[in-house]
Structures are given as structure tokens and as C-alpha cells.
Amino acid sequence: MKKLILVFSFALLSISAFAQSKVGTIDADYILAQMPEMTTVNEGLQTYNQDLQKELQKNVQSYESLVKDYQENNTTFTEEEKTAKESEIINLENDIKNFRQKATVMMQMKRNELTQPLYEQINDAMLQVIQEENYTQVFHSGGNDLAFSSQDFDITIKVLRKMGIEVKE
């Protein structure tokens, strides 16, 4: 009998705890795409990418110039000069390869730098919606972790409205 009362009490507590929970979802990436500030971010990224491309092109031109000079004059070089020129060409070639690899990381870092204030705005508006509507949990719906969520619990549009952003279809 005590076990039955204990199980019944536990079930009752579980139901009342569940009833007090309010779960929602948000798609921060969708909100970010709707923000007018993203135009400025994209322009900044494009400018940064162009700067990186100019730097890369300058290195490629130096490399091509060294190779051309080496090919035209290699018969007149001493063995020490040949070795030095070859080493210089190989080093510049490696620098170009490393720069290309780093450029992707550098672009991602620049994107993070430019979007960080926007994510903070999203977070502030989300916290206001959470507080106003007493949500206990909010999951990010843009990732691969959420298997299903009803649109009834999606607070994305509420956050957009809180930020004063018109939703673009």
C-alpha cells in the first residue's frame, strides 16, 4: 500500500512539474537573415574577402615572377644561387598554400566578429520574450539536434517583432 501511494505521489508530482514547464524553439539564423544589419555585414565580408584576394594575388605574382626569372636565368646561376632561388620559390609556394588555408578561417573569424553584436541583439530580445511569456526552456531549431517541434512553440516571430523587424517571406 505504501508503495502504491509512493508511486501515485511521484506520478502526481511529475505531472504537476511537467505542467509548469513551457518549452519553445527559436531559429536564430533565420532571425539573423531577416535583420537589415546583415547587408552591412555582408558588405564588410565582401570587402575583407577582396582584401584577402589582393594579398593573395600579390603573392602569386611574386611567385610567378620568381619562377620566370629562375627559368630564364637558371643557366647563368651558380649552384649556390640556384639552390637559394629554388628555396625562395618553394618557400613562397608554401606561403601561398598556407595563406589559402588560413583565408577560410580568417573569413569565418571576420564573420563571427561582425555578427556577434547581432546575435547579442537576438539574445536580448529572446530573453525578453522568455521572461514575458514564462518559458522554462528554449531550443535552437535551426540545428540538426531537434527532431520535431510544433510551430505553436516557435518564438522566432515573436523575437523578430520584439526587435521591430518585419518578417520577409
Element of type H or E holding 90: helix 79-133
In a domain, residue 15? The reply is: no
Residue 143, pLDDT score: 65
Which three cell numbers mark 18?
A: 511537467
Query: For the chain, what is the domain count?
Result: 1
The arithmetic mean of pLDDT across residues 11-31, rounded, is 72
For residue 133, which amino acid is it? E
Residue-by-residue DSSP string for 106-159: HHHHHHHHHHHHHHHHHHHHHHHHHHHHT-SEEEESSSSS-----GGGB-HHHH
The arithmetic mean of pLDDT across residues 55-67, rounded, is 94
In a domain, residue 42? The reply is: yes
SS3 27: coil
Please name which of 150, 162, 158 lies closest in space to residue 23, comparing C-alpha atoms.
Answer: 150
The arithmetic mean of pLDDT across residues 6-28, rounded, is 64
Q: Give per-residue pLDDT as tens, 25-52.
A: 888 999 999 999 999 999 999 999 999 9
Residue 4, pLDDT score: 40
Residue 150, pLDDT score: 67
Please name which of 105, 107, 104, 98 lies closest in space to residue 47, comparing C-alpha atoms.
Answer: 107
The arithmetic mean of pLDDT across residues 59-68, rounded, is 93
In a domain, residue 6? The reply is: no
Domain that holds residue 69: 22-162
Residue 134: CB atoms within 10 Å: 9
What is the Cα–Cα distance from 157 to 1, expressed in whole angstroms? Answer: 51
Helices (H) and strands (E) in the chain, counts: 5, 2
In a domain, residue 115? The reply is: yes
Residue 18, pLDDT score: 53
In a domain, residue 10? The reply is: no
Q: What is the CA radius of gyration of the chain?
A: 29
Q: What DSSP state is assigned to residue 21?
A: -
Q: Give per-residue pLDDT as tens, 108-162.
A: 999 999 999 999 999 999 999 999 988 888 888 876 665 556 677 778 888 888 8
In a domain, residue 5? The reply is: no
The domain spanning residue 41 has which CATH number? Answer: 3.30.910.20
Q: What is the mean pLDDT of the chain?
A: 84
In a domain, residue 11? The reply is: no
In a domain, residue 3? The reply is: no
Residue 146, pLDDT score: 58
